[in-house]
Structure 1
Amino acid sequence: MFQQHYPSINHNYQFELNKDFNFSAAHYIPSDDAGKCMRTHGHTYFVNLTIGGDVLDHNGFLVNFSELKKLVHDQFDHHLLNELPQFKDKSPSTEIVAQTIYEMVQTSLNERANQPQCLQVYVRETPTSYVIFRPKELNHE
């Protein structure tokens, strides 16, 4: 994976964790006005998760890096996204993929005693196109 600098988010947490990983998947956008994206095609998605928090767990982790990768990679890698339950009744655009990843990660983080927060999900679909999802309901400053 190449080194990437991601747009940062302002927050006042003591710890900020960033995890990079990728997965390969196919999708299509089921709409007549989606152009070529209406046809099934694949991408190697590059993802960065930004997690913030003030309290570390018993291992000294905000979150174990491997848990974050497993949470998303194992669900999406080498799948047709349109067929996954996470995208039932949703078009798996890059924006929706980023939002869905946020929801999956934050749901998992909510179960942790140290209560870290997912601050940002960055999803790169192609070398020239990416989406950032940030939840509105959190005030990080």
Structure 2
Amino acid sequence: MFELTVDTTFAAAHQLRGYKGKCERLHGHNWKVQAHVAAEKLNGIDIAIDFHDLKRLLNEVIAPLDHSFLNDIFPFTEKNPSSENIARWIYDSLNKKLADEDVEVSAVTVWESDTASATYYEN
């Protein structure tokens, strides 16, 4: 099994509905996203997927989030835009973009600061 990883960043604001504390108020982060994809085999030129293509697809996924108010973007109009939910949304969205490739997302980690992150993966 092979695993590839790409990182990207975006800036966005959010607020956590129902949270009793500072994060209930409007605030922003410079988010970091790390996507891991897994492949059982390599292609004809001995790569799982081109890193450039993988990063382009990840950037397409996060483009609607960049410089936005996350609470205004579906599904965060209905679910809190927590790091956990953002990681799951990116995981699902990137997997859809990779449907025609021989790789699938194995995990997505989202950092809201240098010291706090959430990772989503499926068994």
**TM-score, normalising length: structure 1:** 0.76
Contact 2:7 2:34 in 1 (8 A): yes
2:40 corresponding residue in structure 1: 54
Equivalent residue number for residue 68 of structure 2: 79
- Code of the residue aligned with 1:102 in structure 2: it is Y
Structure 1 residue runs of 5 or longer lacking an equivalent are: 1-12, 137-141
- CA drift of 1:55 comes to 4.2
- Name the SS of the counterpart of 1:51 in structure 2: strand
Distance verdict in 2 for CA 1:25–1:58, change over 3 Å: farther
CA RMSD of aligned residues (A): 1.9
Runs of 4+ with >6 A deviation: none
The 2-side partners of 1:80 and 1:58 are apart by: 43
67 and 86 in structure 1: CA distance in 2 versus 1, 3 angstrom threshold: farther
Unaligned ranges ≥5, structure 2: none
Q: Where does 1:94-109 land on structure 2 (aligned, <5 Å)? A: 94-109=83-98
Superposed CA offset, 1:28-65 (max 9, x none) = 0111x431111110000111100011345677552513
Identity %: 30
Match of 1:132 among 114, 119, 123: 119
* Aligned 1:1-141 pairs, distance under 5 A: 13=1, 15-31=2-18, 33-56=19-42, 60=47, 62-63=49-50, 64-110=53-99, 112-114=100-102, 116-136=103-123
- 2:92 and 2:58 mapped to 1: Cα distance? 14
TM-score (normalised: structure 2): 0.86
Q: What is the count of residue pairs matched by the alignment? A: 120
